Copies of this chain bind each other. A is one copy, B any other.
Amino acid sequence: MNNLTKHEQKVSKEDRLKLLKQKPKVIWLTGLSGSGKSTLANELALKLHNEGKLVYVLDGDNVRMGLNKDLRFSSKDRKENIRRIAEVSNLMLDVGVIVITAFISPFIEERKNAKQIIGEENFVEVYIKADLRICEARDPKGLYKKARAGEIPMFVGITSPYEEPINPNMFIKTDEMTIQESVDFIYYNLEF
């Protein structure tokens, strides 16, 4: 769509940040299913909220049934899934919100694209790492069992690759740290 004229917004991002008194960013959690992304996202959100920060967790629950409900499992659709999540995160960043995303996002290319959309200075890639066998033993949603039984096509870690971040901003080993330690680690390494 073209024929666009840029309107100057009367309330700027800076104005909103003064109101909110916070430094927004997008904390992008990536890792296998069962690695602890959602748990960590929620605990970190709670800590930030209790400090008076406006924070929002984007995850499968609020994205897949809504904005991305037209998307399926093809590699084109998976790429589009992550692109839209990045674009929504970027809009929320413009609002002034601290966004925590909890998606497997297994491909280096798609995370690189997300970083580009959001802007390097606002994008915090956090690799939530746990051994596949531990994730599979946890299996909080029973998905590994289904994947092993061939009931889920293209399941990351089993029938589809997970490409580890090469140089993430942070690295959390959830099989060696407690949830509280992990939350604190992220919290004290960032400025909100």
Q: A57 — which chain B residues lie within 8 A by C-beta?
A: 9, 11
A1-B71 in contact (CB<8A): yes
Asked if A131 is at the interface (CB within 8 A of a chain B CB), the reply is no
Bound-complex Cα distance A94 to B90 (A): 16
Copies in the complex: 2
The answer on a CB contact under 8 Å between A55 and B4 is no
In this assembly, does A158 line the interface, its C-beta being within 8 Å of a C-beta of chain B?
no
A186 on interface, CB distance cutoff 8 Å: no
Beta-carbon contact of B95 and A97 below 8 Å: yes
Inter-chain CA distance A88–B62, complex, in Å, is 10
Cβ–Cβ contact B5 & A66, under 8 A? no
A4 and B65 within 8 A (CB): yes
* A80 / chain B contacts, CB cutoff of 8 Å: 70
Query: Chain B residues near A67 (CB, 8 Å)?
Result: 84, 87-88, 91
Evaluate contact between B87 and A9: CB separation under 8 angstroms.
Answer: no
A163 CB, nearest partner CB in chain B, Å: 20
* B residues near A91, Cβ cutoff 8 Å: 58, 62-63, 66-67, 88, 92
CA separation between A73 and B46, bound complex, in Å?
A: 42
List residues of chain A with CB under 8 Å of any chain B CB.
Answer: 1, 3-7, 9-11, 15-16, 19-20, 38, 42-43, 45-46, 49, 52, 54-73, 80-81, 84, 87-88, 90-92, 94-97, 117, 140-141, 143, 146, 152
